[in-house]
Amino acid sequence: MRLFGTNGIRGKIREDFKPDFLAKIGLAIGTYLSPGSWVIIGSDTRVSGNMVKSAVISGLLATGVNVIDIGIAPTPAIQLYTKNHGDFGIAITASHNPPEFNGVKCIAPDGTELPRNEEEKIEEIFFSSRFRLVSWKDVGRYTIAHGANEEYIEAVLSHVNVEKIRERKFTVVIDCANGASCFTSPYLLEKLGCRVISLNCQPDGTFPGHESEPKPQNLGDLMALVKDVRADLGVAHDGDADRAIFVDENGRFIHGDKTLTLVAREIAKKNGGKFVTPVSTSMAFEEVVKKYGGEVIYTRVGAPIVARRMIEEHAIFGGEENGGLIFPEHQYCRDGAMALAKILEIMAESGKKLSTLINELPSYYQGKISVKCDNSKKAAVLEKLKEKLKNERINTMDGVKIMHEDWWVLIRPSGTEPIYRIYAEAKSEEKLHEIMEKYRKMLEKIIKDIS
Ligand code: MG
């Protein structure tokens, strides 16, 4: 049995997340830790934030661990505070999920997401209900700490050329999706000398502005406003602000892989070095990194996997196509505010508009579709795929990736939903369409044949 999904423990309020269940999570985490440990806990802006947090805290304290509550903060701010001040961290967040959901995400002492083998130890305690209940006098202490968001903003500022950015007096429209970044990114921009125009920057767990996933259909207001006020750029975060998605000065949505590639190019130009990204990332990434003498290391899909590999390889930069960028000089996790500050620095140092910078990057056509597949069939389907494609140049690190000079296709089972995903990239739209169709049909036939 599993408690943790790919991104912590997620659940729907009232159905999955009830006080007794949440307190048990707190008891399991507390039992896993040594008595007297200090646990940092913070949440996003969800309506259920205090309900979930209080129940988890109750369980923690009952096992004799201490809790420092930092209030509402972006996930990367909770991670940084854990690295600086705690023995463990917990973020109460469901990232971009709908408002009726919430989640419990565990953070290792170094600020990274807790690795799977450690999660398993917590799961074992949870399912066995072998909790360490301490006597009345050993119950943990609880304190509230102020200033975590300010400390986070200062840390981000310490990693960019503040003077250079301030000189440009950028106009930036920021859409916080009524999430945790309401307390950080507008103030970060202010410190970077920007004229800040805010959108959905009042914290509100009902998410009145739009759904908190920063995808084009949710960012219509941002795109229109950027154009209207002639801003230099627009930026949107997801609910817990570990990701940042940008809009150029023409109000055009920029896909996350473009931003990732742009930042990689600028870092490679200055340093060379090792760059880590999942197998689902655009070929453009490798193209620019190699051009400037860097090396690309591929991993399975998932930010914690990328972050771990970055630590092992002493990588200089890494990230995913969804706007999750990891800057090791800051911390080994996705960081929306750091991505924002870095993009402004690149614009300031180059003196170029964001659209110009993006247009300089190699351009490919990309597609992503999903095909229904029962979880029980997934493994057999994967075996069959590998068998069928064994004469192609393939990479089986995560699903099956078929690689050619100017196109690739990645077919992989989703870790969370009963579907297979097909990702593809090609130099022309026709080629993209052709390969997506070909492999969709192949996959559907294999799924049908396995009964
Ligand atoms: Mg997130």
Query: CB of 413 within 8 A of CB of 382?
Result: yes
Residue 429 forms part of a structural domain: yes
How far does residue 102's CA lie from ligand 1's centre (Å)? Answer: 12
Average pLDDT, the chain: 96
Are 196 and 320 members of one domain? yes
Q: Tell me which residue of 217, 224, 216, 208 sits closest to 176, measured CA to CA.
A: 208
The amino acid occupying position 304 is: P
| Residue 351 to residues 65, 194, 248, 342, Cα–Cα distance (Å) | 51, 15, 14, 14
Contact 178, 200 (CB under 8 A): yes
Tokens 């602000």 identify what position?
A: 241
Q: Which of 37, 43, 48, 95 is catalytic?
A: 95
> Per the structure block, which two tokens stand in for 236?
């949107």
Instruction: Examine the fold and report which residue of 125, 146, 167 is the final residue of a domain before the chain moves on.
Output: 146
> What are the CA-CA distances from residue 436 to residues 278, 387, 423 (Å)?
20, 19, 8
How does pLDDT run across 64-95, given as a tens digit for each residue?
A: 999 999 999 999 999 999 999 999 999 999 99
- Confirm whether 4 is domain-assigned: no
CA of 243 to the centre of ligand 1 (A): 6
Whether 125 and 27 share a structural domain? yes
**Selection from 437, 448, 434, 433 nearest residue 372 by Cα:** 448
Stated pTM of the model = 0.94
Question: What CATH number should be reported for the domain holding residue 270?
Answer: 3.40.120.10
Q: Which residue has the tokens 């799924």?
A: 447
Give the tokens for residue 164: 């250079």
Final residue in a domain of this structure, among 127, 146, 165:
146
| 101 and 156 co-located in one domain | no
pLDDT for residue 415: 76
Nearest to 377 by CA among 338, 418, 405: 418
User: Does residue 1 belong to any structural domain of this protein?
Assistant: no
Residues contacting residue 437 through CB under 8 Å, at least 6 positions apart: none
Strand-pairing partners, residue 371, are 420
CA of 293 to the centre of ligand 1 (A): 31
First to last CA, the chain: 25
Check residue 5 and give its pLDDT.
86
336 and 416 within one domain: no
Could you read off the pLDDT of 177-190 as tens digits, one per residue?
999 999 999 999 99
Q: Are residues 94 and 18 in the same domain?
A: yes
Q: Is 414 a catalytic residue?
A: no
| Amino acid found at 114 | L
pLDDT value at residue 401? 96
Q: How far is the CA of 285 from the centre of ligand 1 (A)?
A: 22
For the cut 90, the answer to whether the pLDDT of residue 232 exceeds it is: yes
pLDDT > 90 in the chain, percent: 95
Of 429, 381, 425, 427, the residue nearest 403 (C-alpha):
425
The single-letter DSSP state of residue 169 is -
* Beta strand residue intervals within 94-178, DSSP E: 101-107, 142-144, 171-175
Domain check: are 132 and 33 in the same one?
yes
Ligand 1 centroid to Cα of residue 217, in Å, is 18
pLDDT, tens only, 382-430: 999 999 999 999 999 999 999 998 999 999 998 778 999 999 999 999 9
Q: Domain ends where: 347, 363, 379?
A: 363
Distance CA 314, CA 328 (A): 9
Residue 2 lies in a domain: no
As for how many domains the chain has, the answer is: 3
